[in-house]
Amino acid sequence: MIEGETQGVYSMAMWEDSAHNLWIGTWEKGLWKLNPNTHQVEKYLVPGDKKGGLHIHSIIEYTPEIFFIGSDDGLTIFNPITHESYLYDQYGEEEKSLSDKFIYPMLKDREGGVWIGTYYNGVNYLPPYCGQFHGYSGSDNTHYFRSQIISRFCEDEDGNIWIGSDDFGISCFIPSTRQFINFPGIEKLQKNNVHALCYINKELWIGTYSNGIQILNTQTGQIRNYNVSDGLDESSIYSIFKDSQGRIWTGSMSGLCLYDSQQHHFSFIKDLNALIIEITEDAKGNLWIATQGKGVFKYSPQNQVWEKYAQPQGLNCTNINHLCINRENELWAATSEGLYLYNSQKKKFIHQPLKIPNECINAILEGEDCLWLTTAKGLVKYTPATGATQIFTKSDGLQSEAFIMASALKTRNGEFYIGSINGFNTFYPHLLKLNTQKPNVVLTGLEIFNKKIETQQGGILPEAIDHLKEIHLPYKDNVITLTYAALSYCTPEKNQYAYILEGFDKGWNYVGSQHSTTYTNLPPGTYTFRVKASNNDNVWNEEGTSIRIIIHPPFYFSLPFKIGYFLLFILAIGLLLRYVVRKSEKKHAKAIDELNNKKEKEIHEAKINFFTMIAHEIRTPVSLIIGPLEKVMQSTHIPADERQELEIIDRNSQRLLYLVNQLLDFRKVEQKEMRMHFTSQSIRELMEGVCERFSPTLHQKGVSFSVVYPDKNFYADVDKEAITKVLSNLLTNANKYTNSMIEVRFQEQPKTQTFSIQVKDNGKGMSEEELGKIFKPFYQASENKPGTGIGLSIVKGIVEAHYGKVEVTSQPGIGSTFIITLPQKQERQTTQEGENLSAAPLPEDIIPEQHDTTVSAKVLPIMLIVDDNEDMLHFLSSHFQNNYTIVTASDGSEALHKLKEQEVSLIISDWMMPRMSGIELCKAVRSNQLTSHIPFILLTAKTGTEAKIASMNCGADAYIEKPFSLQYLEACIKNLLELRLQLRQKFSQMPTVSINSIAANQTDKVFLEKMNHLIEENLNNDQLSVDFLAEKLCISRSGLFVKLKGLANTTPNEMIQIIRLKKAASLLLENQYRINEVSYMVGFNNPSYFSKCFQKQFGMKPGEYIASHTPKQTHDSTEKE
């Protein structure tokens, strides 16, 4: 029971507010507020008070402070807190009017929009965020404001906004009251076409088209005018600016002027030949001037310096509409073709790409971490840090989407003013609210071949498509159109859509505001159509909605047909496999033939390579035969001290014979032609013959050598020469790799009538991988010891020819053991008597002992001999030791180390050596500034043009093939040294000879040119000395001395004087200076001493040198000839 009410009340509307009060809309008694706890009633909007309340049909709470009441009187806006109300009185077809007075149902949706239903004229919609932009236009019949095209804004000291227009002069707007006011002089200014405004000291400076500058005193209304007669370059003014120094600048359709406040006169500054639309100032006091057609100009009033920025400086568009300098002193330029940012370091403008409908930027205002851009197609909020953009259009409350150039203002309190072709808008950027509600997405229709499909029971759409999970279509209906919509009504035209047909599309299709899509020629199958959408503020509903589309195939793709197709496919596969197998067999047979041919080719190439290897091995022993023989043949007697050389000949002859025998044996093994001549032999005698020949060599190397022999009466059927080779090869191999011990052991196996010989060493040992390769031809262990790599292959072939076997056991770091097992009796023993074969020659060179020689007291030049063959080292050393101090090295790496310790005068090197070859050594010597001058002779067993080219390219001075003649080698050395001596003398004694003439290679040439240039530049420098040169050339004092001694046979001080004198000779030939002048120019303090030095160096006095090179002298000499 309602307190105080005895009669009932008729009500069609009730609403519970946020405070749980119950609001009751009565039929004839107005609006009641019922407290549910006390049952007390408060009555409002009583009918007859002209505020509405008769026949209330609906109540909604728009905000806690605003209720909407719908009744037969219209829409009442009611404040439940203050109880104030007013009746909305705009009804009709206008933009801001309700369509009908009789308000019935009302609904507030989840976005905040209000739907208002009327009795006679449909439904009205009130967007949720209306009123964020305040709009004003002259078409609204507002007092004191009739402008449409707004060109400029200006704020005075009281916060009033002065507005300039193209069509109604000047207006004054009061932001606090949102009203336009009358002001003194308004009538006189209404006819002006205004393009520039600037408020200065209670005066409003107005730039007009064709009427100069009008200055309005805002207090008195007095107006004064400046025109061409007052110094302006023309009467159309488009920009007025007051800088930080109080100077007033004006921009016209062609140039820039400066106002003189003392003389009340303008001075012309510069003709820019373009309309000046904007002038602004940066933190350094520079003026930035935007023009239409000529880009941007920068002007420094202090220095009076101009800089122009156009296409070469990054401005692809030179129509500049506005400039903005933000808090970080960054300069932004709005152009007709996009937004640009100035890079002060590169002094260029950089284009900023924007995803907006139109890139004609008309004005820029700075917000919080963003820029607000007015364009030819809406207002854009742009965040430079992320590149994000948000677009506002007329649907958001803008007066127009087409804005005016440079028509924008940010007031002191942060309110923005933007001018367009239909008035202007004001707004506070921080108060703009975003629509955060994700819109629901629904399917709205289906078309097949552009014909709309209606809902029909038993048809394609038995009910509304949005209620269906799938639709079925025959294969002929393969051109379909689906329509969809986002249920966001705030600004429907800004809703964005994306769709995908899973099973057909590869990705999402973003189609903007398009709300339909068409697919043609869809093949039979099952697809899923998905669509998602965003609201007006780009908030996406990623889930969206979907429907499955099933397109049924034709009859010939039915199940029976598919089974038939499958069987035919299996049959075709069978036939294809049969064809492929036959083709593969043919291909396999062909591949086998090719493989056999390839294998034969590889064997042939291996033999050729082997013969080449043996040929190279033969050349060095042959050289060692020719050398000693040459010495012997030059002497009629053989002194005792030459006995050592004869022994060298003997040993290397034996080695040559051994290598040739190895070659022949390998060929026999490869061609299965090695025939064994088995005879009964004493195994002890055979072993003693081999071991006794190896014993001296092994003991000389410090290797412990022990042998366990068989009984003297033990005989076996063997090929004596072959087994001798087997033992020799095994001992050779053990000698190469052992550390300190070799053991040979004989063992007899009476049960099997076999015996074995075991050769054991304590060397490095071998891995499992190496054990599988050691009996292959040409294989050599990783240490790459000297040899051909066929010895163990020959051992295996001979042992197998004896119907025996060879085994090897090895452990890395411990050593290796080779065991040959042979039968004691051979079934096919030859009847011929065993030949008394001589023992096989020793395979290894025995290096002769080097006897100490007495060092000569005479200081001899140092020769470095590099070779990995010790006999060759000893032979060459003993030959040249009388004329040179000999230093030897076994490879290139050791030679480089020796070069660091010795001042070498000549290098003789072998080509092929371990670790570093002769070619690599020569390159290293030539690339080092300290050693590049040393003569280098290359000895090699390689022949052919390519080898000679390679040796010359690496920088060698001479290339000598093995075997060589000692006399030829001596002659090469003599000619090489004499040629260098002649070049040195020619350089030092002839004034015109360049210093490059003594350079033997490019490295020396660069060094000498640098030194010559350094000396010539410092001829008059008192600091020029040996230490000065060494420091500048980055070389030690001693290194410089050695370098110049080797190159020019001079000391550094002598070299400085020679270059001084050569420079003097060059100056004397110019005939521009006297002799005493030249002497001072090249660093001599005494002309007499200069003449004496010149004569001593070049053999003539300076005057004689000049006379010998005059044209007359040349002519006379020609006649004498």
User: What is the mean predicted confidence (pLDDT) over 1019-1034?
Assistant: 74
Instruction: Work out the pLDDT band at 1070, boundaries 50, 70, 90.
Output: confident
Of residues 281 and 796, which shows the higher confidence score?
281
Strand partners, 372: 365, 381
Q: Is 521 left (phi over 0), alpha (psi -120 to 50) or beta?
A: left
The domain boundary residue, chosen from 67, 102, 128: 128
Contacts of 519 (CB under 8 A, 6+ apart): 478, 479, 480, 481, 501, 504
pLDDT band at 631 (very low <50, low <70, confident <90, very high): low
pLDDT of 285-328, one tens digit each?
999 999 999 999 999 999 999 999 999 999 999 999 999 999 99
Higher pLDDT, 542 or 836: 542
Residues 503 and 526: their CA atoms lie apart, in Å, by 7
Tell me how far CA of residue 161 lies from CA of 164, 238, 375, 695, in angstroms: 10, 19, 22, 119
CA distances from 169 to 111, 218, 557 (A): 42, 15, 79
The DSSP H or E segment spanning 1088 is helix 1087-1098
Q: Answer whether residue 571 is part of any domain.
A: no
742 domain residue, yes or no: yes
Q: In this structure, are residues 87 and 75 in contact, taking their beta carbons and an 8 Å threshold? A: yes
Spell out the residues 6+ positions from residue 516 whose beta carbon is closer than 8 angstroms to its own: 481, 482, 483, 484
Alpha-carbon distance values, 583 to 533, 573, 587 (Å):
59, 15, 6
- Rounded to the nearest 10°, the torsion over CA 401, 403, 408, 410 is 10
Residue 408: C-alpha distances to residues 194, 370, 399 (Å):
14, 16, 14
Q: Is residue 647 part of a domain?
A: no
Let me know whether 1020 and 947 are in one domain: no
CATH code of the domain containing 528:
2.60.40.10
The whole-angstrom separation of Cα 878 and Cα 872 is 10
Would you state the structure tokens that stand for residue 319, as one six-digit string?
């129509």
Q: How far is CA 1021 from CA 568, 1016, 1028, in A?
A: 101, 10, 10
- How confident is the model at residue 153, as a pLDDT? 97
% of the chain beyond a pLDDT of 70 = 85
How wide is the angle at C-alpha 987 spanned by C-alphas 986 and 988, nearest 5°?
95
- For 660, the enclosing helix (H) or strand (E) is helix 643-670
In a domain, 243, yes or no: no
Cα gap 687→715, rounded to integer Å = 12
In this structure, is residue 604 part of a structural domain? no
Q: Is 588 helix (H, G, I), strand (E, B) or coil?
A: helix
Alpha carbon distance 787, 784 (integer Å) = 8
Q: Is 1009 in the same domain as 919?
A: no
d(CA 339, CA 326): 14
* 467 assigned to some structural domain: yes
The model carries a pTM of: 0.50
Number of neighbours of residue 265 by Cβ within 10 angstroms: 15
Over residues 986-1002, the pLDDT tens digits come to: 666 677 667 766 666 77
Q: What is the mean pLDDT of residues 1061-1082?
A: 77
In a domain, 473, yes or no: yes
The torsion of the CA quartet 661, 664, 668, 669, rounded to 10 degrees, works out to: 60
Two structure tokens written together for 558: 């039915």
Q: What is the CATH number of the domain that holds 937?
A: 3.40.50.2300
* 575: helix, strand or coil: helix
Cβ neighbours of residue 71 under 8 Å, at least 6 residues apart? 25, 52, 53, 54, 55, 56, 57, 103
Does 1103 reside within a domain?
A: yes
The type of residue at 212 is G
The encoded tokens of residue 390 equal 């948000």
> What per-residue confidence (pLDDT) applies to 562?
81
The answer to whether residues 1047 and 1084 belong to one domain is yes
CATH of the domain at 35: 2.130.10.10
Question: Looking at the predicted structure, is the pLDDT value of residue 1120 above 60?
Answer: no
What is the widest separation between alpha-carbon atoms in the chain? 165
1074-1083 average pLDDT score: 78
Strands 862-866 and 805-811: unpaired
Q: What sign does the CA torsion over 946, 949, 955, 958 have?
A: positive
**Best CA proximity match to 670, nearest among 729, 607, 724, 616:** 607
Q: Are residues 1017 and 1059 in the same domain?
A: yes
Domain boundary among 823, 838, 873: 823
Give 907-962 as a DSSP string.
EEEES--SSS-HHHHHHHHHHSTTTTTS-EEEEES--SHHHHHHHHHTT-SEEEES
For residue 69, what are the domain limits? 11-128
Highest mean pLDDT among 332-346, 638-652, 915-929: 332-346
φ, ψ at 237 (rounded to 5°): -115, 125
Q: 696 is written with which tokens? A: 């001296």
Structure token digits, residue 993: 């000879």
**HSE (side-chain half, CA atoms, 13 Å) at 673:** 7
Cα→Cα distances 129→60, 490, 688, Å: 17, 8, 117
Angle of CA points 162, 163, 166, to nearest 5°: 150
* CA 181/CA 172 separation, integer angstroms: 6
Residue 868 pLDDT class (50, 70, 90 cuts):
confident
- Structure tokens given for 960: 């000598």
Rounded Cα distance between 840 and 31, Å, is 136
- Classify strands 470-474 and 540-552 as parallel, antiparallel or unpaired: parallel
- Whether residues 1015 and 1071 share a domain: the answer is yes
Token pair of 99 as six digits: 């369509």
CA distance 394 to 829: 119
Residues 17, 97, single domain; the answer is yes
Most confident range, picked from 20-34, 35-49, 1066-1080: 20-34
CA dihedral 1063, 1069, 1075, 1076 (to 10 degrees): -40
What phi and psi, each to the nearest 5 degrees, are found at residue 611?
Answer: -60, -40
- Residue 76's nearest CA partner among 52, 106, 43, 48 is 52
CA distance 389 to 1116: 92
**Residue 1021 belongs to domain with CATH number:** 1.10.10.60
Residue ending a domain, among 916, 939, 964, is 964
Q: Kindly write down the DSSP assignment for every residue of 788-823, as one continuous string.
A: -S-HHHHHHHHHHHTT-EEEEEEETTTEEEEEEEEE
Mean pLDDT of 1046-1054: 73
State whether 956 and 1086 are in the same domain. no
Asked if the peptide bond before residue 963 counts as cis, ω within 30 degrees of 0, the response is: yes
DSSP 747: E
Q: Are residues 772 and 876 in the same domain?
A: no
Q: How far apart are CA 192 and CA 202, in angstroms?
A: 20
Please tell me the total count of domains within the chain: 5
Pair 784, 879 in one domain: no
- Residue 955 sits in the same domain as residue 987: no
For residue 458, count CB atoms less than 10 angstroms from its CB and return exposed for 0-12, middle for 13-18, buried for 19 or more.
Answer: exposed
Mean pLDDT of 753-766: 91
* Distance, CA of 401 to CA of 399 (rounded, Å): 7
pLDDT recorded at residue 581? 92
Instruction: Reduce the DSSP state of residue 319 to 3 states and report it.
Output: strand
Give 1070's Cβ-side CA count (13 Å radius).
Answer: 11
Greatest mean pLDDT among 446-455, 663-672, 882-891, 892-901: 446-455
- The pLDDT-based confidence of 735 (bands split at 50, 70, 90) is confident
**Which of 216, 209, 250, 219 shows the shortest CA–CA distance to 233?**
250
Q: How far apart are CA 76 and CA 54, in angstroms?
A: 11
Report, as an integer, the average pLDDT of 750-760.
92
**Among 53-57, 558-562, 715-719, 1012-1016, which stretch is predicted with the lowest mean pLDDT?**
1012-1016
Given this model, what pLDDT does residue 846 score?
Answer: 29
Q: Look at 129-133, 139-143, 836-840 and tell me which has the smallest mean pLDDT.
A: 836-840
Same domain as 776, residue 873: no
Nearest CA to 533 out of 548, 506, 514 is that of 514
Return the pLDDT at 761: 92
Query: What is the pairing mode between strands 862-866 and 885-889?
Result: parallel
Q: Mutual orientation of helices 1037-1048 and 1002-1017 as an angle, nearest 10°?
A: 110
pLDDT at 857: 44
Q: Pick 964 or 32 by higher pLDDT.
A: 32
Lowest mean pLDDT among 79-93, 354-368, 760-774, 1070-1084: 1070-1084
pLDDT digits 0-9 by tens, 922-966 = 888 888 877 777 888 888 766 556 677 777 788 888 888 776 777
Q: Name the residue with higher pLDDT: 382 or 604.
A: 382
CA distance 265 to 257: 10
C-alpha span between 154 and 163 (Å, rounded): 7
- Rounded to whole angstroms, the Cα distance separating 315 from 294 reads 10
Query: Are 943 and 983 found together in one domain?
Result: no
Q: What is the CATH number of the domain that holds 782?
A: 3.30.565.10
For the record, the structure tokens of 620 come out as 């060095």
Tell me which amino acid residue 666 is: F
